[in-house]
Structure 1
Amino acid sequence: MDLLLQGLGNVFQPEVILLLIGGVIIGIIIGALPGLTATMGVALFLPVTFGMDAVTGVLLLIGVYFGSIYGGSIAAILLNTPGTPASAATALDGHAMTKQGKAGKALGYAAIASGVGGLISVLMLILIAPQLAGVALNFSAPEMFGLALFGLSIISSVSGGSVLKGLIAGVFGILISTIGMDPMTSYPRFTYDQLSLLNGFSFIPVMIGLFAVSEALVIMEGEIGGGDKIKKIIANYVLPKWNELKRLWFSMIRSGFIGTIIGIIPGAGADIAAFVSYNEGKRFLKKEEKETYGKGNPKGIVSAEAANNGVTGGAMIPLLTLGIPGDAVAAILLGALVVQGIQPGPQLFATSGELVYTLFAGMIIANILMVIFGISGIRLFVKILLVPKKMLAPLILILSTIGAYAISNNIFDVFTMLVAGIIGYFMKKYGFPASPIVLALILGPMAESEFRRSLVMSEGSYSIFLERPIALGFIIVAVLSLILPLVWGKLKKNKKVNAA
């Protein structure tokens, strides 16, 4: 406790706190712009920290990291354009609330849930970092395959009104994910001698196209509500009331823990955590609430946002205790620490206790700042909706193009985004959900490579999945997640027929 108090004192040094505030604000802006991910934001600011001391430099990067994960929810909620992959699940209920005239409340739920999830992850980081990191080390190829399969099973929960259409979209996404070099042999698959296809399709340009470009096309067609509806949305920017928040605390806390645990697992990430938590949120709903899930239910927003922000602290657990980054951003932070002459690992807590607890204190303050800026900026954020449609659609297209190109400075990603946008437009017209494609592109390659690595480990025996309790548990839950919605839908249909 003394070290934590000492850390708080270090954070509130004028230079440190000002840079932390600046990092959070910059992160929110980066996150809100389609395609500019948290990884990209932290990477851009890494060179800026080279002339700073260790604490100041790392806390600036942490501010950008935390702010950008939350910032992605702003565009997701207001424009159905996820600013980051982690906010794709938020868009499902968030944008539905915007269309109901509740944009302010949706943004309020997202900000508060983000703060709660982030604080839970930091508290877990402080209290039980070494123990949780030890559990994560037990995850080998079979466990990672089970996790990926469980993530893919969520497709049935993010399919909207039609599970069949969701599964079709998911299979389409898995097929696309097989394009490129074989993950085990590096043999080209479905590339047709095109060099641009050797690395396959990056899911970020596809995501930008499916959500942002398709939305711009719909706006240009004039199918989104007119001026009166926009005025209604602006008039109802009111924050969530205490009575409304009370019903969501359990969802926030549960999702914060889910995000933290998934964040500990190297390679999982905030996007997987958001979808897993979103799916788990549906399991805990009452029967009458399930009908509104995906159509503007606040529990969908807080489940996704608390989880993707819970990953921020979770990813730091293996980084600080074992020197193993939990995600891409943590890998950049590892580089920042090494540049400063600090080697994360088991000895870090013994040799640099004050530094570690200063980082912990900075993470707590960063999450609090994120909530403050998120709530105080709601009135400003919702005014995005006042931008005339004839200006909004080109603006979305410009930002999307910049975001897609900036990923790897490759014009092929821009063409990928445009084709995905056209596909997404027709999917909207015919009621096919876009989220299963994004989910399949993220988890498909992971599931394939970990499945094949597992078979290499077992010399071709499938029994390896039965002998590993964690892997088997994930697989069982995945199968149930896919089957139960179909069975439930069939029983519900039969019940209606019998009642008639």
Structure 2
Amino acid sequence: MLNELMTALQAVATLQNFLIMAAGIWGGVIIGAIPGMTGTMAVTLALPFTFYMDPVPSILLLVALYKGSTYGGSVSAILIRTPGTASAACTALDGYPLAQQGKAGKALNMALYSSVVGDFFSNISLIFLAAPLAILALKVGPPEYFMLMVFALTTVAGVSGNSLLMGLLSACFGLLLATAGEDMYGSFRFAFTGDMQAGLSVAPVLIGLFALPELIKLIVFRNPPKARAMALGDDRVSGKEFRGVAKTLFRGSFIGVILGAIPGIGPSAAAFFSYGSAQRSSPRGQNFGKGEIEGVAASESANNGACGATMIPLLALGVPGDVITGVMLGAFMIQGLTPGPLLFETNIHEVYMLFIGMLLSSVLLLFAGKFTMRIFTTIAKIPPTLLSPVVLLLCLFGIYAIGNSMFDVVVLLALGLVGFGMYLLDIPTAPFLIAFILGPMIEENLRRALATSRGDPMVLLSSPITWIFAALILFVVALTARREIGKANQRKAEAQ
């Protein structure tokens, strides 16, 4: 085995492979930072270029694009509150307030370090735990999925701001919009037009809800003439700050690996799950959503931790973990490699090369992020009045480019107005987004669970895993209720 590893290392450690991985990482960071340009688009567009490449370099290019774009989404999320990818939406909750406080550089560095830690942790997990985690993932059925997603939805309580009622109202609105389109039985809901039959895509809803309200506020309220661009401030993450979030980093990476290994969940749900967990356990939990660097660490470690983990079911079982690994499955087949248990017998040399290349790509991500950061941080120095038209054009172009659909552009503009209205009414947008992303997974797994049990709701408590999540849900609800009662009593005491 040692000889095979050394042979694989020699095969990977070539200038050509380093250049391919560096180009993939760097290109992914840039694409991920552009609003609307998703990692799925980057990997799909790069797929034809891999047809005439050797098997391992071609897969490493796609993996590098995936990793780079997942981190790149945090750049625009922090600097202009426009998440480049859906998984970076959670990063914007604390990253953008940090940028407004003059700590954009610090937030970007923490996002980079967290991404590298999560990515490296997921690669190690892929190497040593591929088969066991993949087998465990197959034992997670619809009831377990449902309880897991409901537990992730309890994050809403922590990001509802001053009013839990408004947060719940926002979440209900998000769940309602998530039902638009065709359900699993072929019925259509809210399908007022032909375009609505496919439902609302995440990208226009995400960018419309976060980016456009900022542009509308700038136009409506008008910045005073002396307004200056926000300063980057001290961009160094101190050793004390890093040690303070170390537990969150490793917990987020672990959550990303576990959820990434379960097909269909992906980085977005992992980020929100990790964020909620960090908020509940942190002594600074009340600062989350207001510019807490631990919130950035929780989100970025989890979404990058899920990247390598989505390869676990793909390599071990031949089951794609998400949309991007579905594209990679096609790349494997084109190169004559068949993912699954036999891959480790018939193509073990290629597997070792892939593992070593993924570990090296984690190091390249650090350097590419540092280099690209010097370019992107200049965005924070541009006055908002000059930056806003550029952001609007990028949003419109990016959303249209995804599906060549004017309907998505209309959804983008409509959700921008909705987001601005929610701002005026002091309704938090984060619960809406969390519910919109988790809603389809909650509904689909609930209906699958009830279909398999012929309508018996007790199927939702039919295994030890579901019991654990049910107990955690009750625990979080009890804590939230206790907190709200404490707030109400405090307001009464102040009024007297």
Shared fold, TM over 0.5: yes
Task: Name the structure 2 match of 1:325.
Answer: 320
CA contact (8 A) 2:260 2:321 kept: yes
Deviation at 1:223, TM superposition (A): 5.8
Instruction: Give the one of 239, 245, 249 matched to 2:242.
Output: 245
Deviation at 1:4, TM superposition (A): 3.9
Deviation at 1:376, TM superposition (A): 3.3
Task: Name the structure 1 match of 2:471.
Answer: 476
1:127-181 CA distance string (max 9 Å, x none): 1111111110011111111122122222112223322211111100111112222
Counterparts of 1:380 and 1:119, CA distance in 2: 25
Task: Name the structure 2 match of 1:117.
Answer: 118
Closer/same/farther in 2, CA of residues 224 and 62 from structure 1, 3 Å limit: farther
CA contact (8 A) 1:23 1:61 kept: yes
Closer/same/farther in 2, CA of residues 321 and 29 from structure 1, 3 Å limit: same
1:463 partner SS: helix
Task: Name the structure 2 match of 1:202.
Answer: 201
Closer/same/farther in 2, CA of residues 259 and 99 from structure 1, 3 Å limit: same
Closer/same/farther in 2, CA of residues 223 and 476 from structure 1, 3 Å limit: farther
Alignment of 1:248-397 (within 5 A): 248-286=245-283, 289-397=284-392
CA contact (8 A) 1:153 1:479 kept: no
The answer for unaligned runs of 5 or more in structure 1 is none
Counterparts of 1:372 and 1:409, CA distance in 2: 34
1:319-346 CA distance string (max 9 Å, x none): 1000011111111111101110000101
Counterpart code for 1:204: A
Counterparts of 1:334 and 1:124, CA distance in 2: 20
Closer/same/farther in 2, CA of residues 221 and 368 from structure 1, 3 Å limit: farther
Deviation at 1:227, TM superposition (A): 6.4
Counterparts of 1:314 and 1:295, CA distance in 2: 30
Is residue 2:412 matched to residue 1:411? no
Task: Name the structure 1 match of 2:53.
Answer: 52
Alignment of 1:428-439 (within 5 A): 428-439=423-434
Alignment of 1:63-82 (within 5 A): 63-82=64-83
Closer/same/farther in 2, CA of residues 26 and 485 from structure 1, 3 Å limit: same
Task: Name the structure 2 match of 1:219.
Answer: 218
TM-align CA RMSD? 1.8
Instruction: Give the one of 426, 448, 453 matched to 1:453.
Output: 448
For structure 1, which segment, 374-383 or 342-351, has the greater mean C-alpha deviation from structure 2 after superposition?
A: 374-383
Deviation at 1:226, TM superposition (A): 7.4
Task: Name the structure 1 match of 2:191.
Answer: 191
1:295-317 CA distance string (max 9 Å, x none): 11111000000000000111011
Counterpart code for 1:207: L
1:253-289 CA distance string (max 9 Å, x none): 1100100100001000100000000000012212xx1
For structure 1, which segment, 299-308 or 423-432, has the greater mean C-alpha deviation from structure 2 after superposition?
A: 423-432
Counterparts of 1:353 and 1:167, CA distance in 2: 50
Closer/same/farther in 2, CA of residues 50 and 466 from structure 1, 3 Å limit: same
Counterparts of 1:320 and 1:224, CA distance in 2: 53
For structure 1, which segment, 131-140 or 421-430, has the greater mean C-alpha deviation from structure 2 after superposition?
A: 421-430
For structure 1, which segment, 437-446 or 38-47, has the greater mean C-alpha deviation from structure 2 after superposition?
A: 437-446
Deviation at 1:203, TM superposition (A): 1.8
Task: Name the structure 2 match of 1:402.
Answer: 397
For structure 1, which segment, 92-101 or 465-474, has the greater mean C-alpha deviation from structure 2 after superposition?
A: 465-474
Percentage identity across paired residues of the two chains: 40
Instruction: Give the one of 473, 486, 490 matched to 2:485.
Output: 490
Counterparts of 2:224 and 2:25, CA distance in 1: 33
Counterpart code for 1:278: Y
Counterparts of 2:304 and 2:387, CA distance in 1: 29
Counterpart code for 2:475: L
1:406-463 CA distance string (max 9 Å, x none): 2221110000000000111122233222222222222112211211111111111111
The answer for unaligned runs of 5 or more in structure 2 is none
Is residue 2:43 matched to residue 1:42? yes
Counterparts of 1:86 and 1:390, CA distance in 2: 28
1:203-261 CA distance string (max 9 Å, x none): 21111100111222123335668766525x13x15221222212111111110010010
Counterparts of 1:216 and 1:228, CA distance in 2: 15
Deviation at 1:486, TM superposition (A): 3.2
Closer/same/farther in 2, CA of residues 251 and 292 from structure 1, 3 Å limit: same
1:107-137 CA distance string (max 9 Å, x none): 0000000000000000011111111111100
Closer/same/farther in 2, CA of residues 5 and 486 from structure 1, 3 Å limit: farther
1:57-86 CA distance string (max 9 Å, x none): 111111100000000000000111101000
Counterparts of 2:468 and 2:28, CA distance in 1: 37
Instruction: Give the one of 403, 418, 422 matched to 2:417.
Output: 422
Counterparts of 1:437 and 1:448, CA distance in 2: 16
Deviation at 1:496, TM superposition (A): 5.6
Counterpart code for 1:189: R
Counterpart code for 1:246: R
1:218 partner SS: helix
2:236 partner SS: coil
Closer/same/farther in 2, CA of residues 363 and 290 from structure 1, 3 Å limit: same
Deviation at 1:26, TM superposition (A): 0.3
1:184-207 CA distance string (max 9 Å, x none): 2x1222223x11111111121111
Counterparts of 1:159 and 1:8, CA distance in 2: 49
CA contact (8 A) 2:24 2:64 kept: yes
Tell me the TM-score normalised to structure 1 length. Answer: 0.95
Closer/same/farther in 2, CA of residues 102 and 364 from structure 1, 3 Å limit: same
Task: Name the structure 2 match of 1:136.
Answer: 137
